[in-house]
Structure 1
């Protein structure tokens, strides 16, 4: 089956560089449940989706590299010597960050050219950044036979995010994008980086993503702040990460914490338990129970972890009061992006029409919809 995205990226590369490239597709991801647990060594339940980043890459005939962001019609030429993060570098930092992190492993990266583009919007909470990082490291590994395993590649991508984009993310986004399996979600233990795939069959329901089309600027600083809170509480508890704590443990040190920090840590402990319970619900084919866990997750993200926003809360409140939706929550880092919803297939069209209308009335802007299918992880493609 033809893929217009991959064909466009391939054509753009050939037109620009007069070479045939190797082609990589790296998917975005959803996360069924388990939000902000990954950097606490906890459990998450993500899946790769059939939308993501396509990259065309080939050796350069010069000593410098050119990276071209197809969707932005924006190019950046750079040297492979002394790579450092760019101030306000945006997408450039993801590309050069991956190169720099490979170099830190003592591996030489020869000059290359790359063209990339995607069909997931930045800021939607579908991990376009992890998909881009993975497409670069996977493409370079293939092109130059660098000998990196997929497990090593996702650590390169994660370090690029930490050191060049300034976001101290966990491993979930890179893992799900790299290791995703068609029609499966992955119960990922973020401490051991071991995952158990679960076939997803929602029967009469469909996963619908509703994009608020907002991305509030405080997300990166707030993300890092919450990670710092989790690490501070872990030190109080004398444990490596909140994954090792129970609610009873946390209660014992409550007097040492602000109420705000106590609630944030409590949320992480409870969300970790919800991720495990969600797997039990899936195994038992209890979709209503899974849906209830999604609603509980959003409640914690909104009222304990404080990473939601009015637009996300509005969409989840609508879902709670709609008989055709059995579960919904915000997904991703927060402060914008998408909600994930379990919607009755027979009511999809009606639900979307209703949400479009009331969201526009409430916020004077449009939301967007994605019906996602679960896909395989980062891979080479042929045209």
Structure 2
């Protein structure tokens, strides 16, 4: 490496990932980067598909990151940024003069959407070169896209010297997802990546955007994320269909917010809804309640209660919201069969569904045996290798290193 390469020692991001991206930058642009930024993926312990329904969610940032190495372009008059993906071995241009336009199906949309948001707010961005790398699993429901958006926003702040508030940064990234990726997501993914803290979960009120910290200080419990390594190809509108169905049900029920609806009131008005709308509504109402209950139980150290709420959440996502799949159900049932005596506290699918990951709370002294059992039994039942990794709550988006 050239001598001007920043000396990087980071307690949050994997050193191999940092070495790899710096080498990739030198190979691509012929010089060392002057800036390294990172933003984490996230896992949601409970509160699924209610972030866009004014509910509560309880995510945490994970110890897997999107990292961007960058520097100002040699040609300062250039009207675009160059962004290279290590994983895809692709380089894309992003306009810095006029607002970028979405490129159908491309990963660069997550970057371009954030750039567009800053440009629209009046921030002038100098020409830059950047390399992107990541160890957040793609397509696993761990918000690799939000991590890329938030890393991009952190990069723009660093190279322009114009820091914006954390909430504003998260909302710019959410709008990038809406406008450039076409996904009408809630605020959970971007808020998790921006606001994450070590040893802390967050109870995020998706209506007020207020965060209540939920301490996760104990070393006796570990979060195990298991990737089913399947992502079922669907017709394309499942996420939007469920959001639309929730909105339709809320309108028929005559409530301004799902927070105002109790399960008793929902049951009394069931006849006004279609069967599909009723089941969507039942998931939303009960999941909001489960999430606040889980936050209280976690804060009080009642992990058995947390586990039961996680299982109930999965059952609701499977039966009422219908976003699970056979492989996710198998992973959860394996964990449930291991049980508390075997070291499993609770398990559920996490993310949008139809594949991706499960999240399991495991007693740390049983972590190795639980992981081995889940992987071996899943392979036996499906023929698929499941990737699993343990994590603690992680640091949110941050600048790792700069050089003059």
Q: Same fold (TM over 0.5)?
A: yes
1:253 aligned partner: 269
Deviates more, 1:168-177 or 1:342-351: 342-351
Name the CA distance, whole Å, in 2 between partners of 1:207 and 1:369. 10
2:104 aligned partner: 87
Cα offset for 1:220? Answer: 5.4
2:347 aligned partner: 328
Say if 1:219 and 1:334, in contact at 8 Å, map to a contact too.
no
Gaps of 5+ in 1: none
Q: Does 1:149 align with 2:162?
A: no
Cα offset for 1:96? Answer: 0.8
Name the CA distance, whole Å, in 2 between partners of 1:103 and 1:237. 41
Say if 2:200 and 2:214, in contact at 8 Å, map to a contact too.
yes
Q: Does 1:222 align with 2:235?
A: no
2:179 aligned partner: 163
Name the CA distance, whole Å, in 2 between partners of 1:195 and 1:153. 15
* Cα deviation digits, residues 57-82 of structure 1 (max 9, x gap): 22222322211111221111243335
Deviates more, 1:160-169 or 1:12-21: 12-21
Name the CA distance, whole Å, in 2 between partners of 1:217 and 1:86. 21
Say if 1:10 and 1:21, in contact at 8 Å, map to a contact too.
no
| Count of equivalent residues | 382
2:59 aligned partner: 46
SS at match of 1:227: helix
2:370 aligned partner: 351
Match of 1:57 among 70, 76, 83: 70
Q: Does 1:15 align with 2:27?
A: yes
1:26 aligned partner: 39
Say if 1:13 and 1:21, in contact at 8 Å, map to a contact too.
no
Cα offset for 1:100? Answer: 1.4
* Cα deviation digits, residues 251-275 of structure 1 (max 9, x gap): 3432221112101111011000111
Cα offset for 1:203? Answer: 5.1
Name the CA distance, whole Å, in 2 between partners of 1:150 and 1:276. 24
Q: Does 1:371 align with 2:390?
A: yes
Match of 2:149 among 133, 136, 154: 133
Match of 2:49 among 36, 49, 57: 36
Name the CA distance, whole Å, in 2 between partners of 1:262 and 1:321. 30
Match of 1:118 among 125, 130, 134: 134
1:188 aligned partner: 204
* Cα deviation digits, residues 4-53 of structure 1 (max 9, x gap): 21222123223322253211110111111111111011111111111110
Q: CA RMSD in A?
A: 1.7
* Cα deviation digits, residues 266-286 of structure 1 (max 9, x gap): 101100011110112112211
Name the CA distance, whole Å, in 1 between partners of 2:281 and 2:358. 23
Say if 1:202 and 1:287, in contact at 8 Å, map to a contact too.
no
Alignment of 1:264-279 (within 5 A): 264-279=280-295
SS at match of 1:124: coil
TM-score by length of 1: 0.95
Structure 1 stretches (4+) deviating beyond 6 angstroms? none
Match of 1:178 among 194, 198, 207: 194
SS at match of 2:360: strand
Cα offset for 1:202? Answer: 4.8
Deviates more, 1:4-13 or 1:174-183: 4-13
Say if 2:153 and 2:169, in contact at 8 Å, map to a contact too.
yes
Name the CA distance, whole Å, in 1 between partners of 2:255 and 2:234. 29
SS at match of 1:116: strand
Name the CA distance, whole Å, in 1 between partners of 2:202 and 2:62. 12
SS at match of 2:338: coil
Say if 2:297 and 2:303, in contact at 8 Å, map to a contact too.
yes
